[in-house]
Amino acid sequence: MIQLRSIDQISTNIINDFIMIDQILLKSPSKKLPNGNSLERDVIPLTTNRNPAYWESGGGSTSTGNATIVTDRFYQRLKALYIPRKGSLSNGNHALMPLRRGYKVIKVWHHNKDYEIAILEVKKIIGNVVTFEVVANFSCENQNGWQDLMCAVAIKAGMDKSKDYHCRVPYYILK
């Protein structure tokens, strides 16, 4: 005899399975690769079509700031999937960007214009958990070390976004 379950029971089970997967993946420690780079994991949003995405976000405060910029594998701008227009946008999420294997995420932090820059490459996406490889780290008070790189325009956009007081707009998107 076949036992029928309601849609609510099935969807609850699927959600519980995803929560369990998230907890297992997030509890595992970061790994060091043979080339010296490390791996990091993060939980990402999924679109209504279950496609992975990542938020361009951030902004500046009085003397600190941060920014997250999403680029393709060649550090080019991407077309945003969604740009919120209402609600609390100050230093928050400004553009939902598609995420694929090989895409780059640039994270910028600053305190009194002393910058920390990390370039992460998407290595693996399983459900709503992404594994990043840290490709490069820069700590600098000015542009030493990265201004001649292919990603200089994206890094500059991240630095400008992190300085923008109570930023409410996306900086590095294809219009």
pLDDT tens-place string over residues 148-174: 788 999 999 999 999 999 999 999 999
Q: Parse the chain into domains and list their residue ranges.
A: 31-174
* Residues 99/130, Cβ–Cβ less than 8 Å: yes
CA–CA separation, 49 vs 29, rounded Å? Answer: 30
Structure tokens at 88: 């609390």
Give the pLDDT score at 79: 96
pLDDT tens-place string over residues 88-116: 889 899 999 999 999 999 999 999 888 99
Which residues, in sequence order, are CB contacts of 45 under 8 Å at separation 6+?
A: 53, 54, 55, 96, 128
Give the pLDDT score at 38: 84
Structure tokens at 80: 């945003």
Residue type, 169: V
pLDDT tens-place string over residues 6-49: 555 545 555 555 555 555 555 555 566 656 678 888 999 999 99
pLDDT tens-place string over residues 59-89: 999 899 999 999 999 999 999 999 999 888 8
**Range with the poorest average pLDDT among 41-45, 69-73, 124-128, 142-146:** 142-146
Give the pLDDT score at 21: 55
With respect to CATH, is domain 31-174 assigned 2.50.20? Answer: no
Give the pLDDT score at 22: 54
Give the pLDDT score at 175: 81
Give the pLDDT score at 12: 55
Residue type, 87: G
Higher pLDDT, 145 or 150: 150
